[in-house]
Amino acid sequence: MKRILAPIFGRRSRQGLGYLLRVTPIDVLSGLLLLVGGVVGTILSLTPIGAWLLAAVLRGAAALGAGRRELAARTFGDRVPEPARLVVEGRGFFGWRRAVLSDPVGWRALAYALIKPPVAVLSVVLTCGFYLYGLVSLVYLPFHEGEFGTEAYAVMVTSVILLLLGPWMVRSVLAVERLLIRGLLGPSRASQRISDLRDSRDRAVKDADITLRRLERDLHDGAQARLIGVGMHLAMVRELVTAQASPEHVVAAVDTAQATLATAVAELRDLVRGIHPPVLDNGLEAALATVTAGSAVPVTVETDLPGRPPPALESIAYFTVCELLTNAGRHSGARNATVRVGLRDGVLNLRVHDDGRGGAHQRAGGGLAGLTERVGVVDGRLTIDSPPGGPTTVTVDIPCPMPVQRR
């Protein structure tokens, strides 16, 4: 019996019913006030008062929407991002009014406030009707006068069925509520796109700043120091020649300068290779063949590239595969790996699979998090499928809308 009653009066059901009973009066009252304010503001739109009243109504609807998003997040843990405002407020009161009236966020919140009252009332009637009818009928049956016949059995069965369907009705009603919140109070496609582009821009700027600082540090601590050392050795050679030192001392100083210069050149090549690997000049297929040939894990490469992606995307794909194969050889204990690269329908797809121990996941500051940020700069997406025990499959999809041609 306890097992049967648990889902009917469980925490989720009580939480959902409490949410509906709490927000319905607010929805009805706020919807009525905003409707009256909107109608009056529209009627007075030919006067300055009408525009200010409509702006106040839209701001009130936006504030109501923000409160509803927060309440839904606390109740269900379903956090809906705040929509980005598409219109920047100008200076002064008139700039504020113009921005409020032009921003679709307020209008969508107003639509939610006007749609919600009938939906809220219907939701409460349906959910509470299931519970109340079922409970009242079951309580009434023991006091039923007369013979406990077919009609009483039918009422009892109906009551039990309604009670069992009560949690399902609550979940269905709350699913509609979530759809309304996400559709009207969450970010629209346009605002979400703007937010994504802003995040991509910030990541690109951050990545460029980190790269420049790394290059500056490497040049200062590496190649620059080596070249200064070459200059010092050449000055020493000049002093030895001037002092007519033995040829052995002069040759030793020249050899030292030459070795230092060779080291500086090697470090500069490494820096250039980190910016743009020369092997990419021959295409992504050739670059991946070079990477897999030097991999610690045996790798099979499969490519389906009808043409060459843009150089920037080739570079991202190259470094992504390098990082994933390095992780497979260093952390997973894999014995074999497979790299598949394809280009179809305007999407460059990378798939790196290994038979290692699995358990790969993103962590702050880790290599996979860095790859996700690098791919996100070009609106790409990185997906990890790595259950404990393996295998691990990392899939990267990068939009490649440009027509690709063989070069």
- In this structure, of 96-105, 144-153, 323-332, the range with the lowest mean pLDDT score is 144-153
pLDDT of 148 over the 60 cut:
no
**154 and 253 together in one domain:** no
Task: Tell me, rounded to whole angstroms, the distance of Cα 36 from its chain centroid.
Answer: 40
**33 and 164 together in one domain:** yes
Residue 255 domain boundaries: 200-275
**101 and 230 together in one domain:** no
Report pLDDT for 403.
47
**38 and 175 together in one domain:** yes
Contacts of 56 (CB under 8 A, 6+ apart): 37
pLDDT band at 210 (very low <50, low <70, confident <90, very high): low
Highest mean pLDDT of the ranges 59-68, 124-133, 200-209: 59-68
Report which of residues 4 and 256 the model is more confident about: 256
**235 and 110 together in one domain:** no
Report pLDDT for 222.
67
List, for residues 356-381, the tens digit of each pLDDT value: 888 888 777 677 777 887 787 777 88
pLDDT band at 2 (very low <50, low <70, confident <90, very high): very low
**103 and 226 together in one domain:** no
pLDDT band at 302 (very low <50, low <70, confident <90, very high): confident
Within a domain: 298: yes
Chain position carrying tokens 């050449």:
234
pLDDT band at 407 (very low <50, low <70, confident <90, very high): very low
Report pLDDT for 328.
79
Give the closest residue to 301 by CA, choosing from 285, 314, 313. Answer: 285
**25 and 159 together in one domain:** yes
pLDDT of 276 over the 70 cut:
no
Helix (H, G, I), strand (E, B) or coil at 352: strand
**289 and 268 together in one domain:** no
Determine the Cα–Cα distance for residues 271 and 263; give it in Å rounded to an integer.
Answer: 12
| Averaged pLDDT, 325-350 | 83
Q: What ranges in 219-246 are assigned the alpha helix state H?
A: 224-242
Within a domain: 85: yes
Give the single-character DSSP code of 405: B
| Averaged pLDDT, 27-36 | 89
Domain total for the chain?
Answer: 3
Report pLDDT for 141.
58
| Averaged pLDDT, 148-158 | 67
Highest mean pLDDT of the ranges 42-51, 56-65, 152-161, 181-190: 56-65
Mean pLDDT of the residues in the chain: 77
**237 and 364 together in one domain:** no
**263 and 358 together in one domain:** no
Within a domain: 354: yes
**288 and 353 together in one domain:** yes
| Averaged pLDDT, 203-228 | 68
| Averaged pLDDT, 16-35 | 87
pLDDT band at 331 (very low <50, low <70, confident <90, very high): confident
Please state whether beta strands 299-304 and 337-344 pair in parallel, antiparallel, or not at all (unpaired).
Answer: parallel
Within a domain: 41: yes
Within a domain: 10: yes
| Averaged pLDDT, 377-404 | 80
Report pLDDT for 138.
64
**Domain final position from 231, 250, 275:** 275
Report which of residues 158 and 29 the model is more confident about: 29
Determine the Cα–Cα distance for residues 56 and 70; give it in Å rounded to an integer.
Answer: 21
Report which of residues 117 and 330 the model is more confident about: 117
**263 and 370 together in one domain:** no
CATH number at residue 336: 3.30.565.10
| Averaged pLDDT, 255-261 | 81
Determine the Cα–Cα distance for residues 281 and 314; give it in Å rounded to an integer.
Answer: 10
Report pLDDT for 162.
74
